[in-house]
Structure 1
Amino acid sequence: MDFEQVDSKRKAQAAPTIWALWFSRNRLIHENKIQREEVVISFVLGYLAELGSLSKTLNHPKPYANSSWEPLSPSMVKINVDAGFRSLSQEASTGVVIRDCNGNILGASYRVYSPLSSVFTAEALACLHGLLFALDLSFKNVIMESDTRSVIFGILSSTSDSSDIRPFMIDIKHLALRFHECYFRFTPRISNKVAHALANHGFKKNVDLFWIEDAPPEVLALA
């Protein structure tokens, strides 16, 4: 069948599929590592799901132009998480910021990881990082926000999958049980700038750091 006759959905699947196969081929040749078929398929499906959610956001008539941090119940704290990923070096950095109902920073942290297989693994680790940091600070009623829909949907889903982030999903769900209240929700990128800045800061410093009731100056400016 001629490519021009293929429906738009299949055309959209072609590029990430070729990309994933090429990446898998390079790992085999240069690192002698074989990726299982289900890992490659899971990556492609996850990428397409994330791309689809971003497309819907971009097509929104008012694309979160006025989105910002929203206050919450005095008994709750909000955990915002984000991750950065460098595919060539397979390095990742996760950022976490915890704030109270008035928006005051209660804790901030970034961690670096290597090697990692995908950006979705990095985003899942960011959620784990956020929960562990909140437990270390003895918070018991939390709302976690991430700007990666596929990871949030995976946490909220009652079904299991065979993707490479499945072990992290299981760990996140188990950690959530250690809180009195623990909720997960998606937030647009524009509302997640502080966590995003922390993740970027981790790449610059290449160390694991945390702050109590403080953060790096450039991050405080955003907060």
Structure 2
Amino acid sequence: MTVDHCPLSLVAFVRWFLWKSRNVLIFQGSCDNAIEVWHLAARSNAEFKDVNSLPSRHLSSFQVSPWQSPPADFIKVNCDASFDHITNKAGLAAIFRDSNGEVVGGSTMLVSSFSVVTAEALACRLGFVAAFRQGWKKITLESNNEGVISRLLKHEFSCWEYAFVEDDILSFSYLFDVCSFSFVRRSSNGAADWLTKNTRNRSCPRDWVLSIPPELASLL
């Protein structure tokens, strides 16, 4: 397929990554080869189409208000990821709160990732693994990535890069007595968002669960 016959969105992504590679070559003396640039553009275009192909209506669990407490004896797991397209590094975070809104646990991790969608799926899996290790039986998981949540609810996985991660998430979900997935706005996921960005920047305190930083506390 030539660029002239590519979808407009793919052409835009190709031009963007060519521009980035040019800048890296000028300022750092290294550059991705043409095949790597094409793969990066194709992957970003696939993510773009994946998001824009979702139904215009929101999922039934959609929330527009700030974070809401889960039912009694449930644990709410808020997950998020922050992805760096240049380094392919991603900060993952899962924060656990009870029905009183109290932070009862959490987990963060810095990983390499194929894409932002893969990173978001890895964050959800991190949440499930950590919740299982804590021994909780009733959980509700929230993410501000509508694509990941939609595929988990429909059990429809299309892209090999993150399909195996989302399949792992479903496998873990069967280990709980009660488990649900919900999509929320980023405004309802502020604490997890703060954790991911600071984890990616290597500035998140390791003991943040026991000693919550003031900036994070303001988001709870």
Instruction: Specify the TM-score bucket, using the shorter chain as the normaliser.
Output: 0.7 to 0.9
Instruction: Report the alpha carbon displacement of residue 197 of structure 1 after superposing the two structures with TM.
Output: 0.6
Indicate whether 1:219 and 2:219 are aligned: no
Matched residue of 1:178: which SS? coil
> Is the 1:144–1:183 Cα contact (8 Å) retained in structure 2?
yes
> Is the 1:94–1:111 Cα contact (8 Å) retained in structure 2?
yes
- Return the alpha-carbon distance in structure 1 between the equivalents of residues 19 and 173 of structure 2: 37
Cα 1:42/1:173, change in 2 over 3 Å:
farther
TM-score (norm 2): 0.76
Residue 91 (structure 1) aligns with: 89
After superposing on structure 2, the runs of 4+ consecutive aligned residues of structure 1 that deviate more than 6 Å are: 20-24, 37-40
- Return the alpha-carbon distance in structure 1 between the equivalents of residues 184 and 34 of structure 2: 35
Cα 1:112/1:208, change in 2 over 3 Å:
farther
Residue 152 (structure 2) aligns with: 155
Residue 3 (structure 2) aligns with: none
Residue 203 (structure 1) aligns with: 200
Matched residue of 2:100: which SS? coil
- 1:49-68 residue pairs with structure 2 within 5 A? 49-50=50-51, 67-68=65-66
Residue 190 (structure 1) aligns with: 187
Could you tell me which amino acid in structure 2 is paired with residue 85 of structure 1?
A: F
Number of aligned positions between the proteins: 205
Could you tell me which amino acid in structure 2 is paired with residue 132 of structure 1?
A: V
Give the RMSD, CA atoms, in angstroms.
3.5
Cα 1:172/1:40, change in 2 over 3 Å:
farther
Residue 74 (structure 2) aligns with: 76
Residue 7 (structure 1) aligns with: none
> Is the 1:98–1:107 Cα contact (8 Å) retained in structure 2?
yes
> Is the 2:64–2:185 Cα contact (8 Å) retained in structure 1?
no
Indicate whether 1:134 and 2:131 are aligned: yes
Residue 109 (structure 2) aligns with: 111
Cα 1:19/1:140, change in 2 over 3 Å:
farther
Gaps of 5+ in 1: 1-9, 58-63
> Is the 1:109–1:198 Cα contact (8 Å) retained in structure 2?
no
Could you tell me which amino acid in structure 1 is paired with residue 150 of structure 2?
A: F
> Is the 1:106–1:213 Cα contact (8 Å) retained in structure 2?
no
- Return the alpha-carbon distance in structure 2 between the equivalents of residues 214 and 208 of structure 1: 9
Instruction: Report the alpha carbon displacement of residue 96 of structure 1 after superposing the two structures with TM.
Output: 1.2
Cα 1:145/1:212, change in 2 over 3 Å:
same
Matched residue of 1:222: which SS? coil
Matched residue of 1:78: which SS? strand
Matched residue of 1:92: which SS? strand
Residue 47 (structure 1) aligns with: 48
Per-residue Cα deviation, 1:94-147 (whole angstroms, up to 9, x for no partner): 111110111111112211012x22111110110011111111211110000000
2:118 aligned to 114, 117, 121, which one? 121
Cα 1:89/1:82, change in 2 over 3 Å:
same
Instruction: Report the alpha carbon displacement of residue 159 of structure 1 after superposing the two structures with TM.
Output: 3.0
